[in-house]
Structure 1
Amino acid sequence: MILVTGGLGMIGAHTARALVDLRQDVLVTAHHRTDVPSFLAGKVTVESLDVTDRDAFLDLGNRHDISDIVHLAGTIPGDDPVRFFRTDTTGLLNALDAARTWGVRRFAVASSLGAYVGRTEARWHEELALPTVELPHPIIAFKKAVEPLTTHSLQGSGVQPVVLRIGSTWGPLMDPESPFNPIPPYVSAVLRGEEPNPLYADDGGDS
């Protein structure tokens, strides 16, 4: 069984759906969100979990035979960046602790294409060195830090780390007012009969 933390969120639900389509048994966890999308109803096992609760996290392994972890759970920064970093780092470390304790095969974790900020190439690829630059958002800063935390935490454990440098998630589950991707708000404005904010090639991304 594959565990997807944050599996009812936007990216998590996309991921769970893809795994179900591959005929995998999927366990999704959710903390604040409880509504299960219709395309996942009856197809995944759902557990309520606060990933910052280490004991509750590890207890999942007593109830389910978990072979792999996809850690996508996260929070949105508020006015206190330290609280955001503490919360999401605690969740990550608990997930890594579970991976080592359970001896899973792979541990996949959400990074971000924002890790490449500062590279001027027209096409990014995995072999590029990540630059040391000022990052535009706390989420991107955390996701970039996730990479060495994950790879070093799993050294010598036999668990394969998989870093997911996620960009835009497309399709009907995309946040229609996403602050990170200008295309869904553009389409949403058109559907409301409003004039959308213009998109320019020089803005970056693949708009």
Structure 2
Amino acid sequence: MTWLITGGAGYIGAHVARAMAGAGEKVVVLDDLSAAVPARLPSDVPLVTGSTLDGPRLREVLTEHGVTGVVHLAARKQVAESVAEPTRYYQENVGGLATLLDAMAAAGVHRLLFSSSAAVYGNPDVDLITEDTPCAPVNPYGETKLAGEWLVRAAGRAYGISTVCLRYFNVAGAAAPELADTGVFNIVPMVFDRLTRGEAPRIFGDDYPTPDGTCVRDYIHVADLAEAHLAAARRLAGDAPAGDLTLNIGRGEGVSVRELITVIGEVSGDGREPVVEPRRPGDAPRAVASAERAARELGWRARRDVHEMVASAWEGWRLHHGK
């Protein structure tokens, strides 16, 4: 097998590329460099500059590198940005996927691992979200991921492509400091940013129907997520391919925003009291995965806890932002 990883020089993509290459898989990365750090990649992993919107470029890469499977991570992923620029999100996330699937069909590539998101579920009122929980996304980003799943399955049936869709929950941490998330879009780096500037962390609403009144989420270490991709890729490459498989990727354990901020204070040594601000529109009280299907289908379970996520992310933050 030779795997093309689209978006493979991004935060999650580089972890996936390193995990797969480190396990002996042959990997090539395609990235448009819009959110990439090429130095994240191992020196022996080829990096091709290009967009999933460029069909001729995709066909060229698939053919020249003898690609036999694709891990598709390239996408825009900021919720607020998707609300402000929905057409851009549909064009890049869904249009880019359609272009990739056409190129795969033309090149005879019959295995696809698709990066989806728990955003496809919206805000379900359940204790544990299973893969059978109805999907009702509440923003354009989540809509594009759900539409992407529909497209992946339709193309799989039409073109004989074996597919796996992985629905990520909240990703954090770093396998090594140099691989850390350099953006300030997710809760852990957002709290780090506040502390670094001498400001208190923020909690948006403390009157939810949860044990401490703050939202509860399922956090997954990015290294565990990368290992899930390796397991899914090997399932696709096996003698009994996946066919059409959709899996939650989470720990199956809920952590409240207040609990997470407490851990961040312990790790960083800055345990200042957070300030409580009004609720944000669209935040669900609880969003925790059932990860049993992934364990059953892939033999995979998350191994790292929230403290490990925060400690590794903090080490990376200090590297990238000064100590």
The question of a shared fold, defined as TM-score above 0.5 by the shorter chain, is answered with yes
Q: 1:21 to 1:169 in 2, by over 3 A?
A: farther
Aligned ranges 1:36-47 → 2 under 5 Å: 36-38=38-40, 40-47=41-48
Q: Contact conserved, 1:69 with 1:108, CA < 8 A, in 2? A: yes
User: Among residues 150, 169, 172, which one is paired with 1:170 in the alignment?
Assistant: 172
- The answer to whether the 8 A contact 1:103-1:159 is kept is no
Residue aligning to 1:138: 140
Contact 1:108–1:161 under 8 Å retained in 2: yes
Q: Distance in 1 between matches of 2:92 and 2:19?
A: 28
Q: Are residues 175 and 71 of structure 1, via their aligned partners in 2, closer, same or farther at CA, if it must alter by over 3 Å?
A: same
Q: Does the residue aligned with 1:155 lie in a helix, a strand or coil?
A: helix
Q: What is the identity percentage for the equivalent residue pairs of Structure 1 and Structure 2? A: 26
Q: Which has the higher strand share?
A: 2
CA distance, structure 1, for counterparts of residue 93 and residue 154 of structure 2: 17
1:152 alignment counterpart: 154
Deviates more, 1:181-190 or 1:140-149: 181-190
Quick check: 1:100 aligned with 2:102?
Answer: no
Does residue 188 (structure 1) correspond to residue 193 (structure 2)? The answer is yes
1:203 maps to which of 184, 193, 215: 215
Structure 2 unaligned spans of 5+: 175-179, 207-211, 218-254, 257-323
The answer to whether the 8 A contact 1:100-1:154 is kept is no
Q: 1:175 to 1:22 in 2, by over 3 A?
A: same
Preserved contact between residue 61 and residue 102 of structure 1 (Cα < 8 Å): yes
Equivalent residues of 1:103, 1:158 under 8 A apart:
no
Q: How does 1:40-119 map to 2 (within 5 A)?
A: 40-75=41-76, 77=81, 79-119=84-124
Q: How far apart are residue 176 of structure 1 and its match?
A: 4.7
What's the offset of the Cα at 1:105? 4.1
Quote the Cα distance in structure 2 between the aligned partners of 1:21 and 1:10: 17
Give the partner amino acid of 2:169. Answer: G
- Aligned to 1:32, the other structure's residue is in SS state coil
Using the size of structure 2 for normalisation, the TM-score is 0.57
Q: CA deviation at 1:142?
A: 0.6
Secondary structure at the residue paired with 2:164?
strand
Give 3-state SS (helix, strand or coil) of 1:118's partner: coil
Q: Judge conservation of contact 2:94–2:147 (CA < 8 Å) in 1.
A: no
Paired residues in the alignment total 201
Aligned to 2:274: none
Q: 1:50 to 1:22 in 2, by over 3 A?
A: same
User: CA separation in 2, counterparts of 1:102 and 1:52?
Assistant: 16
SS across alignment from 1:17 = helix
- Residue 129 (structure 2) aligns with: 124
CA distance in 1, matches of 2:17, 2:143: 26
**Is the CA contact 2:122–2:142 (under 8 Å) kept in the aligned structure 1?**
no
- Which structure dedicates a bigger proportion of its chain to helix? 2
Q: Structure 1, residues 85-137: CA drift from partner, whole Å, max 9, x if none?
A: 123222101111122223334201121111122322211222x2324x4x332
* 3-state secondary structure, aligned to 1:37: helix
RMSD of aligned C-alpha atoms?
A: 2.2
Structure 2 letter corresponding to 1:104:
V
